[in-house]
Structure 1
Amino acid sequence: MSPSTAPDERPLRADARQNVEQILQVAQEVFADLGYQASIAEVARRSGLGMGTIYRHFPNKTVLVERIAIKVMQESLAEVRLALAEEPAAWHPFTRVVRHMMRLRSGQLFPVSRGRAKEPGPELAGVRTELLTALEDLVVRTQRAGALRDDVNAFDVVLMLNSIPPRLPDDENGSATADLADRHIGVLLDGLRAPGSETLAQPAPGRREIDQFFGTVHGL
């Protein structure tokens, strides 16, 4: 069974589907707060579900992490498509998508999972390809409108977004720390806007570099 394959392919009952959605949401929050080292027991505690219920749907942490990654990428793909359909000006959908993906990065929604025993499953590989294709379409459209510098590509954007620092943990008193991601994304967007004054080194990153990045940094 691949990490992205559900242990039971039969359609889930309504209560089971609700449990899966709750587990994914809580696990996403747990990994964002504590990192990938957080235990499944912590997910069970916060969700109010038993360990048996969690393991029934997600037999190990690798399966759970990959399912979260699929969920996040599916949400990002939907956001790209909505932005392209709803936004009239080329620069606006681009910044809308970049800020959406920045929030995902800022919230640490791709927990680090190095040293995986298996390659990502076909569902994750498929949605990643769809997302990268949609981002390429968005980049090309924005460039054709003259709003985005023409010497960058979608892979540049993905790698740049992953340079944004994650959300800082709360301090020892429980007070929220400053979220600097909005400041950094402003600098990033300004650097991407056409015409651009800095000559970029070649070659530009491609799909091979993106696959290497996700494999070594995120384990996905």
Structure 2
Amino acid sequence: MTTFQRARSEEQRSERRLGILLTASAMLSEMPVSEVSLNELSRRAGLAKSGLLRYFESREAVLLELLTLAARDFLAEAGEQLASLVDAQDPLEVRAEAVASGLAASFGARPMLCELLSAQAGVLEYNVSVEVATRFKQTARGSLPGLAEMLRKLLPELGQEHSGQAATLIILLIGGLWTHTNPAPAVRAVYRADPSFSFMDSEFTDALHRSLSVLFAGFLTLG
């Protein structure tokens, strides 16, 4: 990132904001949300803490914007990826399984998105102003219909109502499953030391695949 004494033009401000977001993204490739501190983010971005706060009001505001961008990229990329995996001429159960498998793999390939979704309601939506929360929710309000439309194109049998409900549940599933399949080091050590806990130790993509298969089967039986 180019370093300015002070970003004065809108172009410089945009570049500075992008640099902060890229720094936060790089940190999330190394650590969970809980370990991303404002002090370390500022240091890595080459800014004083007060300087960073000129662009984002809090650590949570940075991460919410990063989540917005990650969700947008997911919708842009995953639709094409899934469409290539699903043959509209296949029986419904075959298409539903292909969508469940493809979605699970797509989310599994985006750990930062899953990490941010897992922290959204319990962490990221705190310590932000009404303005930041409103902007984020307005974007999210557009993202869910985007996911629902993707599902409806691949599985038109879901219909508008059920595809919307499925999209909401998918986001909730990802948040919960990511947390439980990426436990704290102490819990991971327990799983390794005692095989009797193996039923609690699951891999995220496999767990999401199984959950989505059940979710789609349930909604499709509703007609």
TM-score when scaled to structure 1? 0.60
How far does residue 106 in structure 1 lie from its aligned partner after superposition?
A: 7.5
Q: Is the 8 A contact 1:164 1:185 kept in 2?
A: yes
Q: How many residues align?
A: 181
Deviations 1:58-78 (A, max 9, x none): 243243122222222222221
Match in the other structure for 1:139:
151
Structure 2: gaps (5+ residues): 1-6, 88-94, 187-191, 193-200
Deviations 1:121-173 (A, max 9, x none): 45423321221111111222333268xxx7962222222222213334568xx
Structure 1: gaps (5+ residues): 1-7, 172-176, 201-220
2:166 is matched by which residue type in structure 1? N
- Over 3 Å counting, the alpha-carbon distance change for 1:86 and 1:123 in structure 2 is farther
Match in the other structure for 1:158:
171
Measured on the aligned residues, the alpha-carbon RMSD in Å equals: 4.0
For 1:43 and 1:179, the matched residues in 2 are separated by 31
Match in the other structure for 1:27:
24
Match in the other structure for 1:40:
38
1:187 aligns with 2:194: no
1:11 aligns with 2:10: yes
Looking at CA atoms only, which structure, 1 or 2, has the larger radius of gyration?
Answer: 2
Specify which structure has the bigger relative contact order, considering alpha-carbon pairs within 8 angstroms and separated by 6 or more residues.
1
TM-score when scaled to structure 2? 0.60
For 1:114 and 1:121, the matched residues in 2 are separated by 7
1:113 is matched by which residue type in structure 2? L
Looking at secondary structure, tell me which structure has more helix per residue.
2
Identical aligned residues as a percent:
15
Deviations 1:2-50 (A, max 9, x none): xxxxxx996313xx54543332133234357143463211113334x12
